[in-house]
Amino acid sequence: MPDLLEVKDLSVSFYRPEGELQALKNVSFSLHAGEILAIMGETGCGKSVLCKSILKLLPDMAKIKTGQIYFKGEEISAYSEKQMQRLRGSAFSMVFQNPMTALNPCMNVGMQISEAVRQRQPELSRRGRQERVEELIELVGLDHPGERRRQYPCHFSGGMAQRCVIAIALAAKPEILFADEPTTSLDVTVQAQILELLLKLREKTGMTVVFVTHNPGVAARVADRVALMREGKLYRIAEVEEFFEESIHNQNCI
Ligand SMILES: Nc1ncnc2c1ncn2[C@@H]1O[C@H](COP(=O)(O)OP(=O)(O)O)[C@@H](O)[C@H]1O
Ligand SMILES: [Mg+2]
């Protein structure tokens, strides 16, 4: 069986008026089904660009210069925007750093989750969709789903909002969840709760997770493997124990 996702020799540049910026340089790695891969590295080293390249969410000024991306053995780097949209609504889902900007302030959260459910399961009746929304709200650990779904994002704390964003992402029943610094904007206790939630969801659903963080403690807590990026290159990738064992011997690696 091929790896779930394979990135081969990926180079991406931004063509800005002031010149070319090489954001990714010959990055290769593969993702095993069911694992949590943490991507670490300093700000600006290319973690978000790597995720966005896989999801094809880069702005027009960014171009893939070399390389291919395969999902279940099929090359998706050549997919059209329409094909990618289908993949983003089913196989891939994403959760970004700031939950408040990911939610629409003018729509109650139930409707936002419901819209994602409708896209993935258009065959569901209104009633079925509502049941699925409440199931998702419960799955991400929010109480009183019947009342919660009628509330607006402004009624929610950062941690609760991130749970809603995760519920929207899960509505797609993704095979791979891309979580780009999903806990960075939250306080430490809430961060820990969201990490626990992701671990629990992985156990329940078996989904594969790409988890971006610049926090080694967070990577050590959640990841099966850790990839370290530096200046657009994938500098090192290893099983989590091996990664941190070597880092202790070689402190300047993180
Ligand atoms: N939309 C953009 N336009 C121009 N340059 C960008 C854009 N997004 C990212 N970059 C550049 O690409 C590099 C990698 O950025 P990014 O992947 O966002 O870093 P991080 O590891 O912090 O997520 C940085 O040098 C950044 O300035
Ligand atoms: Mg980033």
pLDDT tens for 181-213 read: 998 888 888 888 989 999 999 999 999 999 999
Assigned token pair, 95:
């959760």
Is the Cβ atom of 97 under 6 angstroms away from ligand 1?
A: no
Assigned token pair, 129:
């969709």
Mean pLDDT, residues 122-149 taken together: 95
C-alpha of residue 254 to centroid of ligand 1, in Å: 19
C-alpha of residue 144 to centroid of ligand 2, in Å: 34
Instruction: Please provide the average confidence, as pLDDT, over all residues in the chain.
Output: 93
Is the Cβ atom of 39 under 6 angstroms away from ligand 1?
A: no
Task: Tell me, yes or no, if the pTM score tops 0.95.
Answer: no
Tell me if 109 sits within 8 A of 140, measured CB to CB.
no
Nearest CA to ligand 1 atom 1: 59
Is the Cβ atom of 99 under 6 angstroms away from ligand 1?
A: no
d(CA 87, CA 177): 12
Nearest CA to ligand 1 atom 16: 46
Query: pLDDT value at position 103?
Result: 94
Mean pLDDT, residues 18-24 taken together: 97
Mean pLDDT, residues 45-52 taken together: 96
Indicate the domain borders of the chain: 99-173
Is the Cβ atom of 23 under 6 angstroms away from ligand 1?
A: yes
Assigned token pair, 208:
């594969």
pLDDT band for position 251 (cuts 50, 70, 90) = low
Q: Which of 22, 40, 48 to mutate to test the pocket of ligand 1 (most atoms within 8 A of CB)?
A: 48
Q: Using DSSP bridges, classify how beta strands 5-16 and 19-31 pair: parallel, antiparallel or unpaired.
A: antiparallel
pLDDT beyond 80 at 248? no
Query: pLDDT value at position 2?
Result: 61
Mean pLDDT, residues 154-180 taken together: 94
Exposure letters 161-197 (e unless 16+ CB within 10 A, then b): bbbbbbbbbbbbebbbbbbbbbbebbeeebbebbbeb
Query: pLDDT value at position 89?
Result: 86
Tell me which residue of 50, 34, 40, 51 sits closest to 184, measured CA to CA. 40
d(CA 120, CA 172): 5
Tell me if 35 sits within 8 A of 227, measured CB to CB.
no
